[in-house]
Structure 1
Amino acid sequence: MDNASRIPPRTRQARFARKLASAAIGALILGTTGAYAHAEGITSSPYLLGDWGGWRTRLANDGVSFNLGYTGELAHNFTGGDKRITRYSDQWALGTTFDLDKLVGWKGATFQTTFTERNGRNLGADANIGNNMLLQEVYGRGQTVHLTDFWLDQKLFDNKLSVKLGRMTVGEDFASFSCDFQNLTFCGSQPGNLVGSYWVNWPTSQWAARVKLTTSKETYAQVGVYQVNPNYVNDDYARTYGWTLQNPSGTTGALIPLEGGWTPKVNGLPGSYKVGVWYNTSSGKDLYYDINNNSRAQTGLAALNHGGQYGAYINFQQQITGEPGGRGASLFLNISQADRATAQTDRQIAMGVQYKGPFGRPNDSIGFGIGATHNNGRYADYVNQLNALTGSHTVAGDGNEYATEVYYSWSPIPSVFMRLNLQYVVHPGGTSLNHNAFVVGLKTGITF
């Protein structure tokens, strides 16, 4: 029997899919290099490969838009953990947007597909820093190919109502936030940082539906229903089926987020103010109590089951200086609170400022963020009691992990940026038993 025949069929299929995706990306790059060589206006184009000799614009006018992007994140720890090492992780994302009105006359309909592939290593884990929030946000959810988007968005009643169905990530619609920073504390939809076992952000998707109602020029309300299935966040499952449309067995319930938003202009400058709540119909295990409401460390009985899991969030952003949507400073504040009965990290607060266009360079930016992620003391009490009974030395924080990051983003052309960042993490994992970590990072992005 040869080596190939020993590989399980599903594993061979997954490897074939990754090779196919890589081949497609390579073909796209090679096929457009000629156009890029003759492209004009690279200093103003959002795409490194330009307009493909006019084909990109013609395809978009016909209803088909492509996006190929690369993100890489380098990180080195000068303090923290038990070794001084450098790690790199990255992500490719290939997306296609179909304007079905332009393509087939289906009014108000858009179809989106996106595949991502992640690779690399995690500095926090490899250096044993003990941090809660990733020092390289692009790491995680299985270093493999993911089907990230596969959805249809239908707008109705003069675009006042939007109905979205398919495979989606929660964070693209609820508590959505940019990912300019490299530390996860300041990146993406914040509730997923606390309860990522069921609030699933990019690049992992699940079957879902979302309905959004535009209630006025500046306000909206939306509600969603997202499948909750532990298999979607299982690395072994992701490596084999993460790129497919398979609906795995093992669904435990549904995540139902509800959000209201206000997008005013303050002194002519744009703002975004979101308030939301969520409820997960899946049962959750209590962190401290057993089925009889006694200490489960003491009794050894099964954990008390709660009928659901819940939380709330706010997400505020406001430009305060400069030109609307352009050069100037913007402030942000994100706060999320999960239920204390079941969430090991139950609260996160992050705030900061970003400035676009420093030193007369319109594509550059500067950012500063400071945040705290709280470890639930109820879980720490359980672990400490268990340690006393068994002689173990498991570390469980009962305080805040404080993260600070400052970056400068240099963008020589609009399609490329190199973002040097400095991170300092105090009490990684919410405990003074872990040494503070000083990390130097470099986040790079290319839009082809």
Structure 2
Amino acid sequence: MPRLDPSSKAAFLSSLLLTATIGALGADRAQAQDANQLTGDWGGLRTQLAQKGYQFQAGYTEEAAGNTSGGTGQYFNGAGQLMLGATLDLEKILAIPGATVQFTVTNRNGSNLVDAAGLNTLQLVQEVYGRGNIWRLVDFWYEQKFFDDALSWKGGRMTLGEDFAGFSCDFQNLTFCGATPGNLVGNYWFNWPVSQWGTRVRFGKPDSYFQIGAYQVDPRNAENNGFYMGFSDTTGVLIPAEVGWKPTLWGMAGSYTATVWYDTSSADDVYYNSFGAPLGLFGGSPMLVQGRYGFSVHLQQQVYQPVADDPVRGLSVFLNITQTDTRTSQTDNQVAVGFQYTGPFNERPRDVVALAFGRTQLNGNYVATEALQNAVNPGSVVVQNTSEYVIETYYNIHVCAGLDVRPNFQYIFNPGGVSSAADVGVIGLKTVVNF
């Protein structure tokens, strides 16, 4: 029988209470306000502050999940994130043209179904979980735009995915969420909410651009000190470069980006030891190799628009492909494809139905090391001999401005990349509140 483990019971019940309470509130307000936030315009105060250069953000995301199959048992868990932010338009505040400061903090809470139920998946089934149930400084950066936004410089405490290889987090499985390099090499490409010192220069307009950046690589940024801002354990610099094109084709919006990166840090080889012999046969310390790299492509395009005067409604498709280097990565390739249809019913123009398919691939060199270890000492390791495949579908109920409730279902084949592992089914509920 499904059960709530003690560590997650409160989090799961709170997620249901949050959904029910806010859902009832939203239903009462659905026709009462048209702002993008649940709390509206604060009687005009929010607009007045924005006109003076002050914008504030507050949001909460809760992801409840329970496995219907797979793992060591059936559990329900809840994980959530509170976000607080402020954007300062320095042109309005201090008369500095094109200047902006962003400050954002988060607090994560709850527990992880993958751990609780022993699912052993390569990708999280609650993407909002991770990097510690702590407060974190996510953004503290300055951006300066020049020449009518033809040139932009940004620097400070930043997250990689907010500028490079970006993708939405509408789905609940991590395979379909955020900057995908972080899904494969999260030990040095740190996505939200982990920030690091960084800088980015962009040339061109936001809809057609080239940009390049440089970001600190320091494992301590991902540890449980969310306000660490030091350099003591810095191992190198991650340098991403990206070209982007966001056209309107046949009246429909698209987004096309290609990103490459190189990390100057040294890293452990997954196959060879320090003497150049196979680790799986001879053991020893891994060979230290210089540099880590990869590329990522994100394509998204609206392909059908049923109502000409409502460009939001319609069918959009996406394709994400990420490849990392095979010397140092345990997972080296991820492909995701899917669609999202906004406004499936005339009376529900902002609801969304979606379906996605994804594959996360184990690096063949890493698998070979596991196979050799198992040959030398049978049963010592579980050989991850295949890829992990994920299907997720959801229906997003747009309750009102600022509130979306998103029941979803995930099915995971070969969890952990192990062909003999039982497939995993997960029922989820994602609630997104923008105050």
Query: What is the deviation of 1:363?
Result: 2.1
197, 201, 208: which one aligns with 1:219: 208
Q: Percent identity?
A: 46
Aligned to 1:55: 45
Q: Please say if 1:319 is aligned against 2:302.
A: yes
243, 255, 274: which one aligns with 2:257: 274
Q: For residues 61-117 of structure 1, give each alpha carbon's deviation from its aligned partner in whole angstroms, at most 9, with x where no partner exists.
A: 100001100000011101110100101000000010000000110110000000000
Q: Distance in 2 between the 1:390 and 1:249 partners?
A: 39
Aligned to 1:366: 353
C-alpha contact 1:148 1:169 (8 A) present in aligned 2? yes
Aligned to 1:149: 139
Q: For residues 408-447 of structure 1, give each alpha carbon's deviation from its aligned partner in whole angstroms, at most 9, with x where no partner exists.
A: 0001212111101010000011111221001100000111
Provide the TM-score with structure 2 as the length reference: 0.90
Aligned to 2:292: 309
189, 212, 215: which one aligns with 1:199: 189
Query: What is the deviation of 1:158?
Result: 2.1
Q: Distance in 2 between the 1:351 and 1:204 partners?
A: 26
C-alpha contact 1:42 1:50 (8 A) present in aligned 2? no
Q: Distance in 2 between the 1:292 and 1:178 partners?
A: 44
Provide the TM-score with structure 1 as the length reference: 0.87
What amino acid maps onto 2:334 in structure 1? Q
Aligned to 2:119: 129
C-alpha contact 1:40 1:50 (8 A) present in aligned 2? no
More helix per residue: 1
Unaligned runs of 5+ in 1: 1-35
Taking a change above 3 Å as real, the CA distance of residues 187 and 325 of structure 1, as seen in their structure-2 partners, is: farther
Q: Please say if 1:189 is aligned against 2:179.
A: yes
229, 251, 257: which one aligns with 2:218: 229
Q: For residues 380-403 of structure 1, give each alpha carbon's deviation from its aligned partner in whole angstroms, at most 9, with x where no partner exists.
A: 221232234345532241321000
Taking a change above 3 Å as real, the CA distance of residues 333 and 92 of structure 1, as seen in their structure-2 partners, is: same
C-alpha contact 1:164 1:210 (8 A) present in aligned 2? yes
Q: For residues 225-261 of structure 1, give each alpha carbon's deviation from its aligned partner in whole angstroms, at most 9, with x where no partner exists.
A: 0100011122xxx2xx31x252141000011001001
Q: For residues 22-59 of structure 1, give each alpha carbon's deviation from its aligned partner in whole angstroms, at most 9, with x where no partner exists.
A: xxxxxxxxxxxxxx9xx996442211111112111111
Taking a change above 3 Å as real, the CA distance of residues 213 and 142 of structure 1, as seen in their structure-2 partners, is: same
Q: Distance in 2 between the 1:343 and 1:396 partners?
A: 16
Q: Distance in 1 between the 2:383 and 2:116 partners?
A: 19
Aligned to 2:274: 291
Q: Distance in 2 between the 1:217 and 1:197 partners?
A: 29
C-alpha contact 1:363 1:413 (8 A) present in aligned 2? no
Aligned to 1:407: 394
C-alpha contact 1:99 1:109 (8 A) present in aligned 2? yes
Aligned to 2:109: 119
Q: Distance in 2 between the 1:184 and 1:144 partners?
A: 20
C-alpha contact 2:60 2:83 (8 A) present in aligned 1? yes
SS state of the match for residue 373, structure 2? helix
C-alpha contact 1:377 1:397 (8 A) present in aligned 2? no
C-alpha contact 2:71 2:118 (8 A) present in aligned 1? yes
What amino acid maps onto 2:288 in structure 1? N
Unaligned runs of 5+ in 2: 1-25
Aligned length: 405
C-alpha contact 2:385 2:419 (8 A) present in aligned 1? no
C-alpha contact 2:221 2:229 (8 A) present in aligned 1? no
Q: Distance in 2 between the 1:72 and 1:218 partners?
A: 32
What amino acid maps onto 1:99 in structure 2? D
Q: Please say if 1:336 is aligned against 2:326.
A: no
Aligned to 1:106: 96
Q: Which moved more, 1:295-304 or 1:424-433?
A: 295-304
Q: For residues 159-200 of structure 1, give each alpha carbon's deviation from its aligned partner in whole angstroms, at most 9, with x where no partner exists.
A: 100100000000001010100000000000011100011111
Q: Which moved more, 1:291-300 or 1:310-319?
A: 291-300
SS state of the match for residue 359, structure 1? coil
Aligned to 2:238: 255
Aligned to 1:439: 426
C-alpha contact 2:33 2:40 (8 A) present in aligned 1? no
SS state of the match for residue 147, structure 1? strand
Q: Distance in 1 between the 2:415 and 2:78 partners?
A: 20
C-alpha contact 1:73 1:182 (8 A) present in aligned 2? yes
